[in-house]
Each structure stands twice: as structure tokens, then as C-alpha cells.
Amino acid sequence: MQSLADRLGGFADALFDPTIVLPPGLVGPDGEPSPRRFAVYRNNVVVGLVEALKANFPSVCRIVGEEFFDAMARIFVASEPPTSPILFEFGIGFANFIAGFEPVADVPYLADIARLERAWHEAYHAPEANPLTAAALAAIPENQAAGITFSLHPSLRLIWSRFPILTIWRMNIGDGVPAPVDLTAGGEDVLLVRPAAKVEVCATPPGGYEFVEALQQGQPLTEAMKIALRADPRFDLSRNIRDLIAIGAFIDCHTANEPGRLTRGVRA
């Protein structure tokens, strides 16, 4: 008799392989083989995973249409099934899959929309942390401001794109209504953060992406500003700091003179 490992392995292999009609010894009440009964499991697995992927990428689904999405998702789930029972994490590789999926080559922004949706789910389920208030930041003496480093909110995510992905995503989520979009008008870089219950999503101002990325890497304020200005001379430091505080992007800041001291954020 087959070992349990081989038995379940044969069952598992047949789930994603339609050329295997039925592993031997799987029977109905009369003891006879029943492909139709095995097909219930095959269908449950594939449909269940396609639905799980759809729940994680609702905007991608709306852009390509449900029928197309299902067909594309079937290929993805068979080639990269989830490796964890936590299904809201399913689809880490979906954006890369889309980028290489020939039938959507005429929707060049689709992979970036998938990246955005993936980032949205990561922000949604990220650890809780209280954002830093403007008052806490204002308490830092002016002569120490240049050397400040920031701790960014654990839910903060950045997505870079050469397409207007935030505009397109908003048209294809919730009550959004699709309208013509000029794909050549320039890209939108997107910042996502969930300071409380709601995921906040915004386009970053010029140089803002590079600025936040530098801060995230632990660069002090002046260094991050230089990097941002190199990326885009229109970079406006005070506007960026104000917007980032307002959206809840920081949870802590540290001055160079007092590296051990943490100015804890207080919930407003």
C-alpha cells in the first residue's frame, strides 16, 4: 500500500493538473472510481484561491474584467499557490506575474496597480503605532533640527510608477467611475499609511518619494532633503514635513545630540 505521504502527494498533484483525471482508489458509495467527486475538490481549491486573489486585488479585477481576471488568476494560482493559510497575504508575486503576462502587455500600468493594492493590504494589516504630533516635533530646538532622524510608521508603504496609478486606482475602486486617462502625462508616486483605522493614500509631491525613502533608510533630515532636491529641484521641505505629519507618517524622531532620547508620539 502507498504511504500516507505518497497518497496525499498524489491527491495534491492532481488538484492543479487537469491531465490527471482521477488518482486511483478514490471512490463513490458503490466503491467505483468517481472523477466527478474528485472534481469537487479540484474546483473548490482553484475557485477558492481565485476568489482569495480577487479579494486582494479588486481594482486589477475591475480594470481587466472579472472573466479575464479569473482566467489569469487560474494560471497564477496553479503556478504560485499560496504558501501560508493567511490568505490576505496571498499574491506577493502577483504584480511580477502580471508584468510578465503577455495577454496584458497592452495594459502597461496593471502591474503597478497590483503593487499598489498589495501595499494597501500590507498597510491595512500592519502593526498599530501612534503617529507623532506636530507639537512633539515643534518641541525640538531649532539648532538640532538639521540632524533629526525619523521613525516611520510601520504601515507606511511607497510605490513608484511612471503611470498615473493613483488616478487609475481611484477610478476602479469603491464608487470610482472610470474615465479617459492620459498615460503619457507623467507618473504618480504613491504613499500609503494607516495611522489609525483607515488606510490613507496620497500622491507624493515632487521629490517627496525620494525624501520619504531616504528618511525610511535612516538618513538625517538635511541629507534626505539633499537627496530629494537632487531628484527634483521643486522639492519643498516645509510642505513635505507638514503633509507627512498631517497624514501620520512618523511615529518618532531623534536628535543627533540625544540619540537615546525618544520623543514619543501622542495621539491627538
Partner 1 sequence: MSRRNDDASVPQNGQIPSRAGVGLKPEHYRTILETAPDIGFFEVHAENYMGAGGPPHRYLTEIRNLYPLSLHGVGLSIGADRPLDRDHLNRLKGLIERYRPGLFSEHLAWSTHDTAYFDDLLPVPYTTESLSRVASHIDEVQEALGQQMLLENPSTYLTFAESTYSEIDFIAEIVKRTGCGLLLDVNNVHVASTNQQWDPLRYIDEYPLASVQEIHLAGYTPETDEKGRPLLIDTHDRPVDDIVWDLYQHTIGRLGPMPTLIEWDANVPPWPELKAEAERAEAIMSAIDRKEQARAIAG
Which residues of the shown chain bind partner 1 in the complex (CB under 8 A)? 1-5, 7-9, 11-12, 15, 24-31, 34-38, 40-41, 44-45, 48-49, 52, 81-88, 124-128, 154-155, 194, 197
User: Which residue type occupies 7?
Assistant: R
What CA–CA distance (Å, rounded) separates 96 from 222? 35
- Minimum gap (Å) between residue 254 Cβ and partner 1: 23
**Identity of the residue, 1 or 138, whose beta carbon is nearer to partner 1 in the bound complex:** 1
Number of residues that make up the chain: 268
As a dihedral over the C-alpha atoms of residue 108, residue 110, residue 111, residue 112, rounded to 10 degrees, the angle is: 100
What residues are paired with 252 via a beta bridge?
A: 151, 264
- Minimum gap (Å) between residue 52 Cβ and partner 1: 6
**Identity of the residue, 18 or 259, whose beta carbon is nearer to partner 1 in the bound complex:** 18
**Identity of the residue, 87 or 137, whose beta carbon is nearer to partner 1 in the bound complex:** 87
User: What does each C-alpha distance from 167 to 11, 17, 100, 160, 184 come to in angstroms?
Assistant: 45, 39, 23, 14, 13
- Minimum gap (Å) between residue 16 Cβ and partner 1: 8
On whether the CB atoms of residues 42 and 14 are closer than 8 A, the answer is yes
**Identity of the residue, 37 or 242, whose beta carbon is nearer to partner 1 in the bound complex:** 37
**Identity of the residue, 31 or 186, whose beta carbon is nearer to partner 1 in the bound complex:** 31
- Minimum gap (Å) between residue 36 Cβ and partner 1: 4
Between helix 208-216 and helix 237-247 the angle, nearest 10°, is 60
- First-last CA distance in the chain: 67
What CA–CA distance (Å, rounded) separates 47 from 238? 50
What CA–CA distance (Å, rounded) separates 190 from 65? 24
What CA–CA distance (Å, rounded) separates 117 from 220? 30
The conformation of residue 218, written as its DSSP 8-state character, comes to: T
- Minimum gap (Å) between residue 68 Cβ and partner 1: 22
What residues are paired with 163 via a beta bridge?
A: none
**Identity of the residue, 126 or 136, whose beta carbon is nearer to partner 1 in the bound complex:** 126
**Identity of the residue, 43 or 96, whose beta carbon is nearer to partner 1 in the bound complex:** 43
- Minimum gap (Å) between residue 208 Cβ and partner 1: 25
- Minimum gap (Å) between residue 132 Cβ and partner 1: 17
